[in-house]
Amino acid sequence: MNIVAIIPARMGSTRFPGKPMAPIHGIPMIGHVYYRCKMSNLLDDVYVATCDQEIMDYVESIGGKAIMTKDTHERCTERTTEALLKIEEETGVSNDIIVMIQGDEPMVTPEMLNEAIQPMLNEDSIQVLNLMSELKSKKEHEDPNEVKVVVDLKSNALYFSREPIPSWKKSAAEVPMLKQVCVIPFRRDFLIKYDQLKPTPLEIIESVDMMRVLEHGYKVRMIMTDAKSYAVDTLEDLRYVEEQMNDDSLMLQYQSSGR
């Protein structure tokens, strides 16, 4: 199998403009994501998909591969699809699994990537998969920047929301608080199918790409990870992640070359 990672990133984030190039320990955030993805032994290649020349220039300056995409995409999955088709046209190679990793996941690890990819190697029926992890507090559960997920008994997603689901309102002593971790492998043909599906009402309301999959009647397999990872949506998140990455063992392996 040929497996590639594509990292969609753009400077125009509404919540944190310019965040892919925001420095964490002296390295732009997109650099952390790229370097750490390159450490996975299941990936054949890693690309950044962007509509911004600044990001493209930086990735190429560290020896990485970047693909320029349109600046009109509403969804990161659509940007990933465009990049995939351009990659395949340039290389002449058809890929089997495409792992989409959000450019705001600077704490991603090769183990997380392998956790997401391995079930697809073991089970042909899985078309798209997301990692998930436990939220640690009700404050995180109520944070609209955290995408929450509820799953069925077979660990398929039932719903994604920026609201705190499931509800605490019936005085439950304990509820499962799970968040989406944006390490998302697709089978190639299903990624292209996603791009052809019409956007859906709940996808737009929740601003969550995976809702398009569910609303069109397809399954999203969820896999639990124990890895500690925090997405960066705000400047406060950036400062928190920088603190969490103090003495990070993976970062120490690439830090000198990333400055």
> Which pLDDT tens digit goes with each residue over 9-53?
999 877 788 999 999 999 999 999 999 999 999 999 999 999 999
- Digit-by-digit pLDDT tens for the chain (259 residues) are 999 999 999 998 777 889 999 999 999 999 999 999 999 999 999 999 999 999 999 999 999 999 999 999 989 999 999 999 999 999 999 999 999 999 999 999 999 999 999 999 999 999 999 999 999 888 899 999 899 999 999 999 999 999 999 988 776 677 889 999 999 999 999 999 999 999 999 999 999 999 999 999 999 999 999 988 899 989 999 999 999 999 899 999 998 765 4
- Report pLDDT for 255: 85
- Report pLDDT for 171: 62
What whole-number distance in Å separates Cα of residue 11 and Cα of residue 13?
6
- Report pLDDT for 57: 97
- Report pLDDT for 169: 76
Taking Cα atoms as reference points, which of 240, 226, 231 lies closest to residue 111? 226
What whole-number distance in Å separates Cα of residue 44 and Cα of residue 63?
16
Taking Cα atoms as reference points, which of 27, 36, 180, 193 lies closest to residue 114? 36
Strand segments, DSSP code E, in the chain are 3-9, 23-24, 27-28, 45-50, 66-68, 97-101, 129-134, 148-151, 157-161, 178-181, 183-187, 221-224
Query: For residue 217, which phi and psi values (nearest 5 degrees)?
Result: 90, 15
- Report pLDDT for 84: 98
- Report pLDDT for 195: 94
- Report pLDDT for 134: 95
Residue-level length of the chain: 259
Residue 185 pairs in a beta bridge with 99
Q: How many C-beta neighbours within 10 Å does residue 119 have?
A: 14
- Report pLDDT for 257: 64
List, as one string, the DSSP characters of 141-184. HT-TTS-EEEE-TTSBEEEEESS--S--TT--S----EEEESEE
Structure tokens at 110: 């090769």
Fold of 3-258: Spore Coat Polysaccharide Biosynthesis Protein SpsA; Chain A (3.90.550)
